[in-house]
Amino acid sequence: MSKISDIIFNDHRELEKQYNNIKASKDADTAIRWRNKFVWELARHSIGEEIVVYPKFAKYLGQPGEEMANKDRNEHQVIKEYLYKFQSMKPNKEEFIPTIDALMANLRKHIQEEESHDYPLLESKLNAEESNHLAKVFERTKKFIPTHSHPSAPSKPPFETIAGLFATPVDKLRDMVSRWP
């Protein structure tokens, strides 16, 4: 049985690997392929957290959990804006590496707070079955949500879910013509 924190933290490690692959790319084609994978993973991860996990912060932690979710959504907004800029940027652009570096600086700070504070607090309120169920719902949700950044979309359910239903088919079409690692 997986815990929600295990699934989330695994996503965090994967994002770090993809960032390193982007930075280590020897040619533009390879960098584009890793950029596409990074964008795909980060967009799905962020939206999945906002739809599935952040509402549980409020449910299980009350007002402090609601405040924590709002803080995390605000941090996601900054990350989404960087991701939106980065997702169509070509590796030969001077701002390609500085943009991904700025994005990762914000993401690493957010990840550190989630891993050291938010998820341990949530896990302390969940039993093993609840955490496993939440992990399964999170993984399933990631299959049906946008795969690109849409920073102007709402970041709270139910409006985020509705906006995602409209954005997802377009994103999936874009994914079909994208190059992947």
Q: What is the spatial distance between Cα 168 and Cα 165, in angstroms, rounded to a whole number?
A: 6
Question: Is residue 91 domain-resident?
Answer: yes
Question: Is residue 120 domain-resident?
Answer: yes
Question: Is residue 55 domain-resident?
Answer: yes
User: What's the pTM value of the predicted model, to 2 decimals?
Assistant: 0.90
Question: Is residue 142 domain-resident?
Answer: yes
| Cβ neighbours of 34 (radius 10 Å) | 24
pLDDT, residue 145, reads: 84
pLDDT, residue 179, reads: 77
Q: What is the spatial distance between Cα 63 and Cα 112, in angstroms, rounded to a whole number?
A: 22
Contact 29, 126 (CB under 8 A): no
Q: Which residue stretches of the chain have pLDDT < 70?
A: 153-166, 169-170, 173, 177
Question: Is residue 152 domain-resident?
Answer: yes
* Structural domain harbouring 100: 4-176
pLDDT digit string (tens) for 133-158? Answer: 999 999 999 998 887 887 776 666 66
Question: Is residue 145 domain-resident?
Answer: yes
Question: What CATH number is associated with residue 102?
Answer: 1.20.120
pLDDT, residue 48, reads: 95
pLDDT, residue 96, reads: 97
Please provide the distance, in angstroms rounded to a whole number, between the alpha carbons at the two ends of the chain.
30
pLDDT, residue 173, reads: 66
Q: What is the spatial distance between Cα 26 and Cα 35, in angstroms, rounded to a whole number?
A: 13
Q: What is the DSSP string of the chain?
A: ---HHHHHHHHHHHHHHHHHHHHH-SSHHHHHHHHHHHHHHHHHHHHHIIIIIHHHHHHHHHHHHHHHHHHHHHHHHHHHHHHHHHTT--TTSTTHHHHHHHHHHHHHHHHHHIIIIIHHHHHHHS-HHHHHHHHHHHHHHTTSS-SS--TTS--STTHHHHHHHHHHHHHHHHHHTS---
Number of separate domains in the chain: 1
Question: Is residue 146 domain-resident?
Answer: yes
